[in-house]
Amino acid sequence: MIGAKFRSSIHWFQSWLSQAKTTNPDNILNKPPEDIIQEFSQKLAQLSPPLEYRTAIQETLTSALSDWQQNVTSANSLVILGCSVEPIAQIIQDSLTDECSQNWQIIHPLALCKRSPDCSSLKTAINEALFSQTESQSADYGGDANPELSERQTLVVIPCLAQCFLRCIEGWEGIEFLQNAVVKDKSRFWLIGCNYSAWTFLDQVCQVSAYLEQVHPLPKLKGDALQKWLAPVTAQLTPEDDDADMDLADCKSLASLASGVSSVAAQLWLQALRIRAADIPDAVSESKPKLTPQGVTLEIPVNLRQTKPILPSLPDLTATDRYLLHSLLLHGQMTRTDLALSLGESEQLVRSRVQMLQRAGVIVQQQEQLNIYPAYYPSLKTELVNNNFLLGDG
């Protein structure tokens, strides 16, 4: 019996060795050169938010505004919740149509969605914006700062609430001012974007949901929606065979893996791109990009292949790493200084852990802003939930 198993093992090994010898090394699939990855990363970043996101916001906002204009007791705010790695500010801004701008007086108290070192600056920004608007409104309505239902025409937009506070002593003072301002003055409607983790935290420390009652989550994207959204980028692949187009089955699998989150799906797709060794241009590392009307593009055409996306594995995390990553999910993009302040740790300690997580690919940096790399979000979410962190996402 043992001899038969041994002979079977020998036969399998010889068969495998024979196949390995006949495999053409030029057909082995490799990760594309970094220049190519960066080019496609830029193309993904240039995509508009998915139509399903924008449609959901537009329809919900239209209904909420209509109710507010017709009923004195209707809610005068709408909070749009999304995943921590989604660009919620861009999604909110891109969902405001030209028709909306024509029919409503839109106020943007925060011209840039960047966190200020002084977290109470939200209070100042809102005060200044509303004071200026109230003066104009008083002139239009003959001095009446609280117009009738039919005259309610002001929409205040806070694209990203997570950029308006810091988890530290008095770090959410501006949020408390904001929620009181919404409740006290029904003459304005507030459209606010936020991520699940920030919303869960703010509800714990200042009961934000008691003031901003109308909350609507972004929809989870299905396979057909992802297929249409990614089409402008996937159409630019030029493989030699017929595996260029992502069929619906592939997109359904991608949507499931990404939990229906567009930014996660985009990065998983990007990380699954491969190229045959024979197709790697010899001069990719030495080539100089040329400037075209569409932007900077590579001179060398390449044949890329789509492989099955997989979730990247997290490195071994310490307790400090988990708190650090949770803070990034909570606040969104932030500087090392703000991150250290939110953790109550020295900036030196935070810097060393950030560098390790950057090398592992879990954290990415743009200029001075740190953020979670979206492809790691599903695994990170599971890791944090298993360690009793509250994320509020599903």
Give the mean model confidence (pLDDT) for residues 275-285. 64
User: Hey, what amino acid is at 390?
Assistant: L
pLDDT in tens, 127-169: 777 766 554 454 443 444 455 676 788 899 999 999 888 888 7
Q: What pLDDT was estimated at residue 8?
A: 59
Range scoring the smallest mean pLDDT among 22-26, 106-110, 120-124, 160-164:
22-26
Q: What pLDDT was estimated at residue 127?
A: 77
Query: Which of these, 132, 87, 95, lies nearest to 113 by C-alpha position?
Result: 87
Q: What pLDDT was estimated at residue 230?
A: 94
Average pLDDT value over all residues in the chain:
82
Report pTM.
0.83
Domains and CATH numbers, the chain: 28-46+221-279+303-310 (no CATH), 51-122+150-217 (3.40.50.300), 319-387 (1.10.10.10)
Q: What pLDDT was estimated at residue 171?
A: 81
Please name the residues in contact with 214: beta carbons below 8 A apart, sequence gap of 6 or more: 64, 75, 77, 78, 79
pLDDT in tens, 359-384: 999 999 998 999 999 999 999 999 99
Range scoring the smallest mean pLDDT among 222-226, 234-238, 239-243:
239-243
DSSP for residue 219: P
Q: What pLDDT was estimated at residue 285?
A: 44
363-370: long-range contacts, CB 8 A cutoff, minimum separation 24 = 363/325, 363/328, 366/333, 368/335, 368/336, 369/333, 369/334, 369/335, 370/328, 370/333, 370/334, 370/335, 370/336, 370/339
Q: What pLDDT was estimated at residue 11?
A: 60
CA distance 75 to 227: 36
CA distance 211 to 278: 61
Q: What pLDDT was estimated at residue 303?
A: 77
Query: Which of these, 84, 16, 88, lies nearest to 50 by C-alpha position?
Result: 88
CA distance 78 to 56: 12
pLDDT in tens, 286-331: 444 444 444 444 444 567 888 899 999 999 999 999 999 999 999 9
pLDDT in tens, 173-219: 888 888 998 998 888 999 999 999 999 999 999 999 999 999 999 99
Sign of CA dihedral 55, 215, 120, 354: negative
Burial class (CB in 10 A: 0-12, 13-18, 19+), 179: buried
- Give percent of the chain above pLDDT 70: 77
Token look-up 């990553």 returns 325
Q: What pLDDT was estimated at residue 144?
A: 46
CB 163 within 8 A of CB 52: no
Rank 28-37, 50-59, 121-130, 291-300 by mean pLDDT and report only the highest: 50-59
